[in-house]
Chains A and B, each alone.
Chain A
Amino acid sequence: MKIIPIMLVLSFLSLQGLMAQGILLNFESGNRSYDMSRCWDNYGVNYTSSGEISGNWSGLTVQLNSGENYPAWIKSPWVIPAQGNVTLQVRLSGGSASSRGVTVLLVPYLASDPSGEGEPQQLYRHVFPNPRSTSLLNVSVAIPQDYVQTGLPCRILVHFWGSGGSGRAYVDQFYVPGTYHSDPSRGCIPLPVLDDRDADGVEDDEDAYPDDRYRAYNQYFPSSSTLATLLFEDKWPGRGDYDFNDLVLYYRIQTVTDALNRVVEQKYTFTIRAIGAWYRNGFGFQLMGVSPSSVRAVSGTSMSGIPYPVPDTEYVTEYHFASNGLESAQTLPTVIVFDDAFRVIGTENVLMNTDPTLAPVATRTLNVTVTFMQNGVPGSGGAVSLSQLPLSQFNPFLVSNGDRRREVHQAHFPPTSLAVTTVFGMIDDTSVPDEGRYYVTALNHPWVLNIPYQIPYPVEKRQLDAGYLKFLDWVVSGGVLYPDWYMDKPGYRNNDALY
């Protein structure tokens, strides 16, 4: 008794194999949400692994007792239909009923409708002569030739209906001849023809550079409209005075990627906001996730090229650069943005914007570009991906008092190849390179703070916690309390101590 249905199924499947390319819903994912996300729309049809028609799973409608209100239906994704038949298998669950039926409809494409769906056209209607019967119904109906010839997409809609009783219907092997034409990333509309002037595969609405095939996206840190803040103490390995204003930089990083998600360039905007020091301090950064040979060019830095007369003849005051603009003799790409903040500003040993009693000094902004790809060609070290350049790999540092070897980094960020390491562990520094411990005091205090927000900084002679009233709570709580200590919220700031 079971042989005949199995043979019927096999012949049904083999016929399908001879048909043109098509799309098939066989419920074998066992996951209604999954198939719906792939544009097999569904209302009132559960997935069941009990009483299935074929395979391990079938569809099972809700109770079909609401007349032809269609309490259950399945709708295919959009297809460009091909010559052939829509097929599916249906079996009633049995039980008393007044009527049961299944209807197959073609939903034509209608460009003027936002969903793309026009008025459905009935292709097939079957009324079960015995609504209690549980025999298998093989539905096979041709898609009208005249619609196939239009080349337009359509969807195939199957309604299950009935009245009386509590019976349901199993469904399986729903096949539509044609080519899949839905876009599951756009609400399952018909595949759109994208506006893409530069033909890079990114549609113009999403493309930050719609006429440049070598660029597609911008990513910003901290954001396209805000700046981050770097606060430096420059007396390392002495602990400094905790006003964190020896050098204050506002900055933003714009990372440009192409349609293949390769990093084309990084554009750094650094604004020298304040200098609360007498030292001639420089500034640079290292990118720890890539190799120097991945960088094609560096531009926009400001090197005075004039060694400042330093107090120690042992100081190293000269900088050396490779042809791509990176600093030489470094194992990781290192950019020196400027060697002397005073010379960038155009002042000589004058406190800049840290003493409210003094006249404000105009800030200066440097736009530094690190180029990884030129006209689609990466550096010899290969293309760079975004995952190689998270902010945790951005290692900014201050070059203290004109001595290239004296670098001051963020807590637990390593020095570059050119830094003096013999000072580690001296005076107030407790760095232990073998343990990855860098640039912290015995109280685990840093010399540099990197804040993802543009903030005012302490005025001269005021410590950071005098201006930021939640800062200490954040520190002693291990970062649990007030992770937003630097924000401008009620009770967070004492503006008298901030510039």
Chain B
Amino acid sequence: MKKWIFLVMLALAVSCVEDDPAANPGTGIVVAEAPDDFDWSMVRTVVLQVEGMPTDIPVYNTMKVSDKAGNVYLSRRSLMSESFSLQISVPARTDSLIVTYGTVTRRLRLDDELNFSYVTPRPDPEVNPVVEPE
């Protein structure tokens, strides 16, 4: 009985709202269907995998995750030899993140897996290098 009264009152409340969707000029939101699995969130949570690098001594520094506009989403003190993962919430429009750890900087695209390595790739030297004359 109580539930019935509640629902009647609810229906009255809804029916008595002043704003009628159909009366509000828009361009079709009233009838536009969103996909069943549509994610209304405009924020995405990404997972950054950090691969530790063994060091001869414990090395600590601050890891920062930011975007190209300079917005810092995360700062943490990290041990260089430690592997870990981080969840980071960023606007869905973000296409890349910049991860810095001291002088180590990586720009990671969000359409790829987010993996951070402290190892900076270096090209192998040419076997027969061109040497400037003395």
Contact = CB atoms under 8 A, between A and B. Distances in A.
A in complex with B: yes
A443 B33 contact: yes
Contact of B61 (A186, A235, A426, A469): A186
A37 B119 contact: yes
Given A184-B80, A487-B93, A38 B55 contact: yes
Contacts of B6: 312, 314
Among A203, A423, A444: residue with most chain B CB under 10 A: A444
A401 B121 CA distance: 60
Interface residues of B, number: 82
A445 B91 contact: no
A237 B2 CA distance: 18
Contacts of B80: 184-185
Nearest to A427: B14
Interface of B: 2-3, 5-7, 9-11, 13-15, 17-21, 23-43, 45, 53-57, 59-62, 69, 71-77, 80, 85-89, 91-93, 101-104, 118-122, 124-129, 131-132, 134
A259 B79 CA distance: 11
B38 A478 contact: yes
Contact of A390 (B75, B89, B120, B122): B89
A20 interface: no
A390 B45 CA distance: 7
A487 B73 CA distance: 20
A481 to B, nearest CB: 12
Nearest to A194: B60
B129 A237 contact: no
Nearest to A44: B125
A166 interface: yes
B76 A257 contact: yes
A427 B11 contact: yes
A210 to B, nearest CB: 13
Given A187-B103, A453-B91, 7 more contacts: A77-B56, A238-B15, A241-B21, A386-B87, A392-B41, A449-B42, A478-B35
21 contacts: A33-B120, A62-B128, A63-B128, A240-B17, A240-B21, A242-B24, A278-B18, A387-B86, A391-B43, A392-B45, A412-B40, A427-B10, A446-B40, A450-B42, A452-B43, A461-B23, A463-B29, A466-B27, A475-B38, A476-B32, A478-B37
A486 B89 CA distance: 18
A426 to B, nearest CB: 7
Contacts of B42: 449-452, 483, 486
Contact of A476 (B34, B55, B73, B129): B34
A422 B10 CA distance: 12
B29 A219 contact: no
Nearest to B66: A223
Contact of B125 (A46, A203, A223): A46
B56 A180 contact: yes
Closest 5 CB pairs of A and B: A463-B26, A238-B14, A241-B19, A185-B102, A391-B89
Nearest to B126: A62
A487 B69 CA distance: 15
Given A387-B86, A450-B41, A62 B129 contact: yes
A454 B104 CA distance: 33
A462 B77 contact: no
B91 A452 contact: yes
A31 B117 CA distance: 14
Given A180-B57, A219-B74, A312-B6, A45 B26 contact: no
A412 B129 CA distance: 61
B72 A34 contact: no
Nearest to B29: A465
B134 to A, nearest CB: 6
B124 to A, nearest CB: 5
A136 interface: no
Contact of B102 (A183, A261, A311, A422): A183
A465 B28 contact: yes
Contact of A465 (B18, B26, B56, B85): B26
Contacts of A103: none
Interface in A34-48: 34, 36-38, 43-46
Interface stretch (A65-73, A151-159, A264-272, A366-374): A65-73
A221 interface: yes
A390 B2 contact: no
A343 interface: no
Contacts of A166: 128
Most buried by B among A410, A426, A475: A475
A376 interface: no
Contact of A217 (B56, B75, B129, B131): B75
Nearest to B101: A185
Contact of B77 (A202, A311, A392): A202
A293 interface: no
B73 A219 contact: yes
